[in-house]
Amino acid sequence: MKLLVTGGAGFIGANFIHHILEKYDDYHVINIDKLTYAGNQQSLARWSDDDRYRFVEGDICDQEVVDDLVSQVDAIVHFAAESHVDRSVLSAREFAMTNVVGTLTLLDAAVKHDKKRFHHISTDEVFGHLALDAPAFTEESQYHPRSPYSASKAGADHMVRAYFYTHELPITITNCTNNYGPYHFPEKLIPLAITNIMEGKKVPIYGKGNQIRDWLHVTDHCKAIDLVLHEGEIGETYGVGGDNQPTNFSIVEKLIAILGADPEEVIEYVADRPGHDFRYDIDYTKIKQELSWEPEMTLDEGLKETVTWYQENKAWWKPLKEGSYKEYYEKNYKSKTV
Ligand code: NAD
Ligand code: DAU
């Protein structure tokens, strides 16, 4: 099988390419990635001499490039996106371009080239947020995005589903909760906290730190995508979740404990994220019953493993905290501390 993976130089896409090339000897992967600030070819350096892997630097909004690549593969696994909520607060235009127009460009190419199998990676954020005691989101929950990021992902999901009904494109969608693990860009809470603690810097906690996320190790997410791609029912959506409900404060506390730091020295409360979603939780009964998927890694095991990875891979993340990211970080941080 020949796969076109979009956004494979990002966090989940890179982990997915490792998973596929390690598991299937006869699979080929073409990775199209624009190499935005979040894309990093170092994450896939071990495959650079493997003839099963090809990297193409390109934009998924570029119809000509996308058309050519789609014509060469059997299936598309679509990760490419602007993915950080805080950045969508500062500026949303790129989110609409890549997440909506980019997805549409891929869908058009998939229809044109014999209705290629299309798997779309989405998020639980499209359903909005939950009160403390509300039941988890399911595949039937109403869409209610509350940030420019989640609104653009919702737009993409609607397009993908519309192409199934209108053009009979063989699609599937997964809506997953918060991932963590290796190759996670250090702007998101877990890798930011780990690397800041390692550098002796403070960890900014938004608001009171009482928001709740449902964390899933990225390898469990990749296994779910693999299953849905091969065995999922065409036209269907699958919720993918981690069975965890810690507060942001308790996640940072766990990381402080693993790294042996002093909470008093590390934690800094800053202004809240505008429109901050309070809680995410997704019910994964459907994928469990239909495809026998469930998370394998516990949160405590996964956090320890992730800390070890960042300790052993300073050469991967240290350069990322300089340059344009530093500028963004300072801008975002300033907006929360003045
Ligand atoms: P990421 O930001 O780490 O990676 C995104 C990748 O897409 C980068 O390599 C970037 O260079 C590339 N990209 C951006 N714009 C592009 C364009 N126009 N053309 C080609 N490539 C482009 O994101 P991630 O965390 O790996 O998320 C991957 C996907 O999974 C996204 O669709 C996201 O919405 C979804 N998702 C993420 C999470 C999470 O917790 N990280 C959870 C659920 C769903
Ligand atoms: O639910 C899935 C989503 O999870 C994905 O669709 C997104 O692409 C991904 O970025 C993630 O979104 P979040 O906004 O939940 O992730 P983030 O790591 O940015 O923040 C996690 C929580 O921690 C959130 O409540 C905000 C808070 N936070 C974040 C940062 C970066 C802080 O308190 N301090 C911080 O410095």
Is residue 265 a part of any domain in this protein? Answer: no
CA angle 26, 28, 30 (to 5 degrees): 175
CA atoms within 13 A on the CB side of 84: 21
- Alpha helix segments (H runs only) across 28-186: 63-70, 85-90, 93-95, 103-112, 148-167
Is residue 234 a part of any domain in this protein? Answer: yes
Is residue 172 a part of any domain in this protein? Answer: yes
Atom of ligand 2 at shortest distance to CA of 150? 6
CATH number at residue 156: 3.40.50.720
Q: List residues bridging with 75 in a β-sheet.
A: 3, 117
Say how far apart CA 198 and CA 201 lie, in whole Å. 8
Say how far apart CA 26 and CA 23 lie, in whole Å. 9
**pLDDT-flagged residues of the chain (< 70):** 338
CA angle 89, 152, 335 (to 5 degrees): 5
Is residue 198 a part of any domain in this protein? Answer: no
On whether the CB atoms of residues 59 and 102 are closer than 8 A, the answer is yes
Per-residue DSSP letters for 270-285? Answer: EPPPTT---B--B--H
Say how far apart CA 78 and CA 82 lie, in whole Å. 12
Is residue 335 a part of any domain in this protein? Answer: no
Query: How many domains does the chain divide into?
Result: 1
Is residue 328 a part of any domain in this protein? Answer: no
Q: List residues bridging with 267 in a β-sheet.
A: 203
Is residue 321 a part of any domain in this protein? Answer: no
Q: What is the pTM of this model?
A: 0.98
Ligand 1 centre distance from Cα of residue 261 (Å):
31
Task: Name the residue with tokens 């989405």.
Answer: 122
Query: What's the token pair of residue 312?
Result: 């052993």
Q: Is 32 helix (H, G, I), strand (E, B) or coil?
A: strand
Q: In what order do the strands lie in the sheet with 75-78?
A: 53-57, 28-33, 2-6, 75-78, 117-123, 171-176, 237-240
Cβ–ligand 2 distance for 279 under 6 Å, the answer no
Which amino acids are annotated catalytic? Answer: 124-125, 149
On whether the CB atoms of residues 178 and 85 are closer than 8 A, the answer is no
Q: What is the pLDDT of residues 221-267, one digit of tens each?
A: 999 999 999 999 999 999 999 999 999 999 999 999 999 999 999 99
Atom of ligand 1 at shortest distance to CA of 37? 11
Burial of 67 (0-12, 13-18, 19+ CB in 10 A): middle
CA atoms within 13 A on the CB side of 98: 23
Cβ–ligand 1 distance for 145 under 6 Å, the answer no
Q: Name the nearest CA neighbour of 78 among 143, 191, 169, 189.
A: 169
Cβ–ligand 1 distance for 105 under 6 Å, the answer no
Give the domain extent around 92: 2-180+216-240
Q: What stretches of the chain adopt beta strand conformation (E)?
A: 2-6, 28-33, 53-57, 75-78, 117-123, 171-176, 179-180, 203-206, 216-217, 237-240, 267-270
Atom of ligand 1 at shortest distance to CA of 36? 11
Q: What is the pLDDT of residues 118-159, one digit of tens each?
A: 999 999 999 999 999 999 999 999 999 999 999 999 999 999
Query: What's the token pair of residue 128?
Result: 């909005």
Is residue 158 a part of any domain in this protein? Answer: yes
